[in-house]
């Protein structure tokens, strides 16, 4: 092939910086659920720093299977038509560090994949939002119980079909963040 | 370490209050003399610049947990984008307003591939940047530099069947890092890229060749060794520009992370 780039030379990530708010958010980004869909669930929470203060400039992306358990292969996430479920969402946190996602419950593996971007992070962070903790999940099985719980959304009885999921960047209950790039070949440090 | 002790500003009013006096002071001083005095020890790592390690209250303290995603992992797939998601004009940042933006017109193009060199087809590439004066059309950027009413600085496109993307824009200006003395960000374009798998998600920054500010930039240095940093610097490509109109820069991207197709091929 003519223009093969040598393997193992991945382009490094860089911080998203503070000035992405006019470029990356899009209308309806936090509401992938089709309008009025009866299975719609709300997932909401705060992104918190090591002092427990809200992170007001985070960008969260979610990717998930649909209720049938398969990953959607449907375009239209950026220009939602209100009908299709694309499985992709992008939301920003507000001044209180809070975000809201209105989506459909994933079938199959019961979690949402999350990618978190924020000023002050040299690169993005991956995590997952689980709605239940299945016994056979290889990631959960490898985690001590207290760490496992950082990935579990809590039912929010104050709101209809709502779950609470906070993301703690540091501290005693620091959220588990994932490394897909170097599986089993040695843990990467948390910071660079 | 300076990069540890100084929390970046979060924008808003504080930035304006910090920025104005420094901006005025700079005006009354010999700019060249100040710019040539980086004030960093010569032996503190590459170019004497400690790499940016992030906000000390934001970067996680615990190691990342390695995951070898099995076939059930949704991260091995990713969102699909199509023509309905992106307008063809979204890739020309010089044509988003009634008038012409100020600045040096550039073409930025390149190829997106996975780690095995295979093109990433039909995927979303997003670009955002400062204007020619180094200011973002963003309410958080309170620096005293002109906004350009004909430039927003945000674009999108989909890669073609060879994994190529293509933008027409203007070269952004450098800008001082708020709250840090004598510290300027080199001219850069922010890029957001998707692969076929969510694990390949990438947000990074592209720089321009020969920029004297690069060697002083802690964020560029955070990319890693010299080879890794070089992968963030575009190449000037005279054949890529539009004759008589734009300067051409080529910048190829390789996305990291496993994708479903790897497992299918028995990797």
Q: What is the per-residue pLDDT across A39-62, written as a single tens digit (0 to 9) for each? A: 999 999 999 999 999 999 999 999
Partner residues linked to A103 by β-bridges: A41
Kindly state whether A71 is in contact with chain B, defined as any CB-CB distance less than 8 angstroms.
yes
pTM attached to this predicted model: 0.86
Among A74-78, A179-183, B5-9, B22-26, the least confident range: B22-26
B97 an active-site residue? no
% pLDDT > 90, chain A:
85
With a cut of 90, say whether residue B168 has pLDDT above it: yes
What would the pLDDT profile of B25-73 be if each residue is shown by its tens digit? Answer: 322 222 222 222 233 333 355 778 889 999 999 999 999 999 988 888 9
Average pLDDT over residues A25-51: 97
Average pLDDT across chain B, whole number: 83
What pLDDT does residue B230 have? 96
CB B232 within 8 A of CB B221: no
Residue B88 CA, chain-centre distance (Å), reads 22
Q: For residue B15, what pLDDT band results from cuts at 50, 70 and 90?
A: very low
CA distance A157 to chain B (A): 28
Supply φ then ψ for residue B253, to 5 degrees: -130, 135
% pLDDT > 70, chain A:
90
Kindly state whether A127 is in contact with chain B, defined as any CB-CB distance less than 8 angstroms.
no
Token pair 């708020």: residue = B178
What pLDDT does residue B1 have? 35
- Select from B56, B65, B154 the Cβ nearest to the Cβ of A143: B65
What would the pLDDT profile of A119-157 be if each residue is shown by its tens digit? Answer: 999 999 999 999 998 888 999 999 999 999 999 999 999
B185 an active-site residue? yes
What are the start-end ranges of the E strands in chain B?
65-66, 105-114, 124-128, 154-158, 164-170, 175-176, 184-185, 188-193, 202-207, 235-236, 247-250, 253-255
With a cut of 80, say whether residue B22 has pLDDT above it: no
B190 an active-site residue? yes
Domain extents for chain B?
78-254
What pLDDT does residue B49 have? 85
What pLDDT does residue B182 have? 87
Question: In Å, what is the CA distance from A157 to each residue of A36, A75, A102, A128, A175?
Answer: 21, 34, 16, 22, 23
CB A130 within 8 A of CB A178: no
What pLDDT does residue A182 have? 58
Among A169-173, B33-37, B44-48, B224-228, the least confident range: B33-37
B81–A176 CB contact, under 8 Å? no
What would the pLDDT profile of B104-116 be if each residue is shown by its tens digit? Answer: 999 999 999 998 8
What pLDDT does residue B181 have? 85
A178–B126 CB contact, under 8 Å? no
Helix (H) or strand (E) holding A88: strand A88-92
Kindly state whether A142 is in contact with chain B, defined as any CB-CB distance less than 8 angstroms.
yes
Average pLDDT over residues B18-27: 30
What pLDDT does residue B191 have? 98
- Select from A21, A76, A121 the Cβ nearest to the Cβ of B84: A76
Half-sphere exposure of A63 (CA within 13 A, CB side): 26
Q: Which of residues 81-100 of B touch A (CB under 8 A)?
A: 81-86
CB A104 within 8 A of CB A33: yes
Residue ranges of domains in chain A, CATH in brackets? 20-168 (2.60.130.10)
With a cut of 80, say whether residue B249 has pLDDT above it: yes
Q: For residue A74, what pLDDT band results from cuts at 50, 70 and 90?
A: very high
- Select from B85, B137, B190 the Cβ nearest to the Cβ of A78: B85
Instruction: Identify the active-site residue in B165, B175, B216, B249.
Output: B175
B255–A10 CB contact, under 8 Å? yes
What pLDDT does residue A4 have? 47
Q: Which of residues 152-181 of B touch A (CB under 8 A)?
A: 152-154, 156
Instruction: Identify the active-site residue in B135, B136, B171, B221.
Output: B136
What pLDDT does residue B260 have? 60
What pLDDT does residue B257 have? 81
**CA–CA distance, A15 with B30 (Å, rounded to integer):** 32
- Select from A122, A125, A139 the Cβ nearest to the Cβ of B52: A122
CA distance A103 to chain B (A): 15
- Select from B10, B57, B152 the Cβ nearest to the Cβ of A170: B57
Average pLDDT across chain A, whole number: 90
What pLDDT does residue A109 have? 85
With a cut of 60, say whether residue B7 has pLDDT above it: no
Q: For residue A9, what pLDDT band results from cuts at 50, 70 and 90?
A: confident
A77–B79 CB contact, under 8 Å? yes
% pLDDT > 70, chain B:
79
Q: Chain A: residue nearest B188 by CA?
A: A14
- Nearest of A37, A59, A35 to residue A47 by alpha carbon: A59
Question: In Å, what is the CA distance from B150 to each residue of A122, B100, B168?
Answer: 31, 6, 14
Tell me the fold of B78-254: Protocatechuate 3,4-Dioxygenase, subunit A (2.60.130)
Residue of A17, A48, A173 to mutate when probing chain B, most B C-beta within 10 A: A17
């Amino acid at each position: 092939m003519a223009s093969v780039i040598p393997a193992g030379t991945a382009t490094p990530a860089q911080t998203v910086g503070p000035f992405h708010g006019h470029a990356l958010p899009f209308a309806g980004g936090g509401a992938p659920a089709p309008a009025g869909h009866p299975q719609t669930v709300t997932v909401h929470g705060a992104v918190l720093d090591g002092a427990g203060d809200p992170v007001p400039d985070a960008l969260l992306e979610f990717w998930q299977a649909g209720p049938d358990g398969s990953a959607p292969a449907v375009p239209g996430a950026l220009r939602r038509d209100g009908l299709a479920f694309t499985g992709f969402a992008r939301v920003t946190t507000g001044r209180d560090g809070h975000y809201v996602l209105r989506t459909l419950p994933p079938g199959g593996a019961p979690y949402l994949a999350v990618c978190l971007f924020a000023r002050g992070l040299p690169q993005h962070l991956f995590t997952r939002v689980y709605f239940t903790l299945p016994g056979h999940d290889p990631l959960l099985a490898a985690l001590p119980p207290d760490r496992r719980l950082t990935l579990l959304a809590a039912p929010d009885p104050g709101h209809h079909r709502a779950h609470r999921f906070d993301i703690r960047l540091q501290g005693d209950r620091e959220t588990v963040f994932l490394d897909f790039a170097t599986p089993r070949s040695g843990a990467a440090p948390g910071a660079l | 370490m300076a990069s540890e002790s100084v929390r970046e500003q979060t924008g808003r009013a504080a930035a304006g209050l910090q920025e104005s006096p420094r901006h005025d002071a700079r005006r009354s001083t010999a700019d060249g003399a100040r710019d040539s005095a980086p004030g960093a020890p010569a032996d503190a790592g590459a170019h004497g610049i400690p790499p940016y390690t992030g906000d000390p209250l934001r970067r996680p303290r615990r190691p990342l947990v390695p995951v070898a995603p099995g076939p059930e992992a949704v991260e091995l797939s990713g969102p699909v984008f199509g023509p309905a998601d992106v307008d063809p004009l979204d890739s020309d940042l010089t044509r988003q307003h009634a008038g012409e933006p100020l600045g040096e017109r550039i073409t930025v193009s390149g190829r997106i591939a996975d780690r095995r060199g295979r093109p990433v087809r039909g995927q979303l590439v997003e670009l955002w940047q400062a204007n020619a004066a180094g200011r973002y059309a963003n309410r958080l950027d309170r620096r005293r530099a002109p906004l350009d009413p004909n430039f927003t600085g945000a674009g999108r496109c989909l890669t073609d069947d060879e994994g190529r993307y293509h933008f027409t824009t203007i070269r952004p200006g450098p800008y001082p890092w708020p709250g840090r003395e004598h510290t300027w960000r080199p001219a850069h374009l922010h890029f957001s890229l998707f692969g076929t798998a969510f694990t390949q998600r990438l947000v990074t920054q592209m720089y321009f060749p020969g920029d004297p500010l690069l060697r002083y930039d802690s964020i560029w240095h955070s990319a890693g060794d010299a080879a890794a940093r070089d992968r963030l610097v575009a190449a000037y490509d005279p054949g890529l520009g539009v004759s008589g109109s734009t300067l051409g820069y080529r910048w190829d991207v390789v996305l990291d992370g496993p994708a479903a197709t790897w497992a299918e091929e028995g990797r």
